[in-house]
Structure 1
Amino acid sequence: MTNSAETIMIIGAGIAGIHAAEALRNEEYEGRIVLIDRDTELPYDRPPLSKEFMLGESTETDIALHTQENLEELQIDLKLGVEIVLIDSEKQSAVLSDGETINWDKLLLTTGSSLRRLPIQGSDLEGVHYLKTLSDAKAIRGNLDDIQQIAIVGAGFIGAELASSFKKLGKEVTLLERAPLPLAHILGDEMGEYFLQMHQAEGVEAIMEDTVVQFNGETQVEEVLTEKGKTIPCQAVIVGVGVIPNTALLDKELQIDRGYIVNEFGETSLPNVYAAGDCAMWPFLGNNIHIEHWDHAINHGKCVAKNMLGGEQTSYSTVPYFWSDQYDYRLQYFGHTKNWETTVLRGNVEDKEFSYFYLNKSNVIEAALLVNQPKNALAVRRLINQQKPVVPELLPNTDIKLKECMYVEVD
């Protein structure tokens, strides 16, 4: 039984924050829950913004996570359109931009991340967009009827998903990326080349190893100029060049390395202060990592919320996972690795259905990419969780079940 006079304050009403608040109520927390966000929209799901919502296949109602009535039933005190002016960690209080002061017993930071901006000439022209919020998506979608040519700066997952969505809408799409291959820093050169060819086969003009230096136009963007002298005509630009975790709150008091550093329970370096989701760096397989995806935000938010209630602590050890829908491809990535030793392909890339494994020097699977193979998801997650060696020579053989590819010691 919790103290009904207690207050837990959650800063950030995104995926991690709203699921943390729900988890507190599901765990029968009876105290006050204050959920604060500078956005003015009720909590909503972000992944559809670049796909179903952009295509007009889903509405604001479809992507809403809760109605006002739901939140009232859960007794979640949601404060929208306000920011935190000051947090006093010793007095355990916070001052809001509307002048209100809230005293808290425990604080959860789910502040998410902010988009990196391109500080170049023409950035203020009409038609230059970034996609992070529902209002961003509505601004882009509201002008699509008057747009035929779209330039996308950045070939990460958001940029790639938008390229797919815009092609489905019959637009001419140019994808610009300063790296030699899209997504190679995550998936490696072989898969980077695969995804480059995938987009080119769908009619996307892909310009690699070039940098945007200027947007041209009088009041409306009309063209993009690159460092290598290319000029790309367009009526809209979408910039997706990465994010920066929001760590301004308590940044002088908390340990930060890209995100707020937390332990396996979600605790920061300050007592009674926790962090979860995009803004946190958390331990996974011996390293602190930072994940910016939907599945992680939900699971981390729930786990940390439960730990805030005291009692038996639960280590957060969920295998990182994200997915991306592009054209007729369902891409699923499990695990986390940047320094794999070898890769193994299982299946045939020409069939548009395969698995691609990333192994360390001990032949342990650290990560895996599944392309149109959701049936393998559970087995792959288990293999990564077990952290035991596999026999690389067996992995490519689709007649052998994945669980039978484990290395077995013989006495």
Structure 2
Amino acid sequence: MTTIDKPIMIIGAGIAGVHAAETLRNEGYEGRIVLVDRDTQLPYDRPPLSKEFMLGESSETDISLRSVESLTALRIELKLGVRIVSIDAEKQIAISSDGEIMEWGKLLLTTGSSLRKLQVNGSDLEGIHYLKTLSDAIAIRQKLDGIQQIVIVGAGFIGAELASSFKRLGKEVTVLEHAPLPLARILGDEMGDYFLQLHQSEGVHVITEDSVVQFDGTNQVEKALTKKGRVIPCQAVIVGIGVIPNTFLSDKGLHVDRGYIVNEFGETSLPNVYAAGDCAMWPFRGTNIHIEHWDHAVNHGKCVAKNMLGGDSNAYTTIPYFWSDQYDHRLQYFGHTKNWEATVLRGNMVDKQFTHFYLNASGVVEAALLVNQPKNALAVRRLIKQQQPVDPDLLSNPEVNLKKVHIQAKEDKVSN
């Protein structure tokens, strides 16, 4: 294992940063580990914010990633409320907003992402919220008792999960989406229509192909006005229109294209500087991609931490995965694709239990959406990982075990 005289510094104490720090210790690293974050709160888990925490089913303690005691036991120096404003790779230093200079031997950037902001007239009124942090979630939850009508701007996964949570709390929910169908950019029109009907069947008013142009109210938001002339009464608005990777730290020679560009080992274009999680653009099957989900942050952080210690480097090849809970639906998505050639449905959408496969022109499974079928997860991962053409008839037949589809594809590879 490489000996590092100066500390390993990790900037960002979110999912990727915390798991990277723990991995360094678990791999036997004995040197100093400094974990820095501009937030003043202890590291916490974000997925429950739109679901269990919003519903009051979990507390701040429940969603805490690690306690001070557990980090102290691992000799991880946690510095909260410290905003790093610049780094110098040549001098191997980081400078905080109050002028403190911190030395490092190796640096890991796990700076996460920030929310896109909606800039329209009235967007500064009270009652207009964003959900990214624990503070955001607390602020929303504290106001819910006095709110009956809520507008959600954006029908992405956060917007959809909040719509589900608010309906469970008995609120009147309107979702505004500028695209023709929710989630269609990721899941396609057929699945977009499925989720549109799902939310409508639960009593959510979903408005597509329209957007907010103004919020009205004296001090508190009272209504949302849309491009097509709709006037929607509301006492609260939640905006969820996507995120932007945090790449505010720069240094000459540090390559950035939406996120910090890293190779398969997590190395940036600067020596001894790495990046992982939401802030990184990493290579996946010939192209650089950006993933904003919990599973990726955990696995990328762990993999890159191991590579920082020297020795045999391990390429990051984990199949992307994310999940979402909406009403009585557990959604699981494996893989990554934007330009599929064909889709194959296995199961019945009416029964709310099915798997929707996305195939490329060669008949290879690139991604899959599982709806209330967690038992298919392992087989789906294998199908995506093997990158071999499959028989669509076998794939669509629920009577054929998915393991057999996987085996058949392997045998076809051997025979060819």
Q: Which band: TM-score by shorter chain?
A: over 0.9
Aligned to 1:73: 73
- Partners in 2 of 1:32 and 1:230 — Cα distance? 58
- Partners in 1 of 2:238 and 2:252 — Cα distance? 34
Describe the SS at the equivalent of 1:394. helix
Aligned to 1:200: 200
Report percent identity of matched pairs.
Answer: 75
Matches within 5 A, 1:215-226: 215-226=215-226
1:315 is aligned with what amino acid? A
Matches within 5 A, 1:382-397: 382-397=382-397
Aligned to 1:295: 295
Aligned to 1:96: 96
Matches within 5 A, 1:398-409: 398-405=398-405, 406-407=408-409, 408-409=411-412
- Partners in 2 of 1:259 and 1:403 — Cα distance? 37
Please say if 1:10 is aligned against 2:10.
yes
Between 68-77 and 266-275, report the one with greater CA deviation.
Answer: 68-77
- Partners in 2 of 1:79 and 1:99 — Cα distance? 15
Aligned to 1:228: 228
Give 1:53 deviation, angstroms.
0.1
- Partners in 2 of 1:174 and 1:246 — Cα distance? 30
Give 1:81 deviation, angstroms.
1.1
Between 99-108 and 132-141, report the one with greater CA deviation.
Answer: 99-108
* 2:89–2:251 CA contact under 8 A, matched in 1: no
Aligned to 1:309: 309
Matches within 5 A, 1:180-195: 180-195=180-195
Describe the SS at the equivalent of 2:85. strand
Deviations 1:40-89 (A, max 9, x none): 10000000000000000000000001111111111111111121122111
- Partners in 2 of 1:236 and 1:319 — Cα distance? 38
Give 1:3 deviation, angstroms.
3.3
Aligned to 2:286: 286
Give 1:142 deviation, angstroms.
0.4
Describe the SS at the equivalent of 1:62. coil
* 1:2–1:30 CA contact under 8 A, matched in 2: no
Q: Normalising by the residue count of structure 1, what TM-score does the alignment of the two structures yield?
A: 0.98
* 2:2–2:310 CA contact under 8 A, matched in 1: no
- Partners in 1 of 2:256 and 2:342 — Cα distance? 32
Give 1:2 deviation, angstroms.
5.2
1:348 is aligned with what amino acid? N
2:309 is aligned with what amino acid? L
1:171 is aligned with what amino acid? K
* 1:44–1:64 CA contact under 8 A, matched in 2: yes
Give 1:168 deviation, angstroms.
0.3
* 1:12–1:110 CA contact under 8 A, matched in 2: yes
- Measured at CA, do residues 277 and 250 of structure 1 come closer, stay the same or move farther in structure 2, by a change above 3 Å? same
- Partners in 2 of 1:297 and 1:39 — Cα distance? 18
Aligned to 2:378: 378
Give 1:246 deviation, angstroms.
0.6
Give 1:96 deviation, angstroms.
1.1
- Partners in 2 of 1:98 and 1:310 — Cα distance? 33
Aligned to 1:125: 125
- Partners in 2 of 1:4 and 1:77 — Cα distance? 16
1:172 is aligned with what amino acid? E
Describe the SS at the equivalent of 1:36. strand
Give 1:146 deviation, angstroms.
0.2
- Partners in 2 of 1:252 and 1:205 — Cα distance? 49
Give 1:4 deviation, angstroms.
6.7
Give 1:6 deviation, angstroms.
3.1
Deviations 1:250-284 (A, max 9, x none): 16531112111111100011110000000111111
- Partners in 1 of 2:252 and 2:209 — Cα distance? 38
Structure 1 residues without counterparts, runs of 5 or longer: none
* 1:343–1:358 CA contact under 8 A, matched in 2: yes
Structure 2 residues without counterparts, runs of 5 or longer: none
2:68 is aligned with what amino acid? Q
Please say if 1:266 is aligned against 2:266.
yes
Aligned to 1:38: 38
Q: Normalising by the residue count of structure 2, what TM-score does the alignment of the two structures yield?
A: 0.97
* 1:2–1:31 CA contact under 8 A, matched in 2: no
Aligned to 1:116: 116
- Partners in 2 of 1:261 and 1:97 — Cα distance? 25
Aligned to 1:244: 244
- How many residues are matched? 411
Give 1:317 deviation, angstroms.
0.2
Deviations 1:211-252 (A, max 9, x none): 111111000000000000001100000000000001121165
Aligned to 1:358: 358
- Partners in 2 of 1:182 and 1:210 — Cα distance? 12
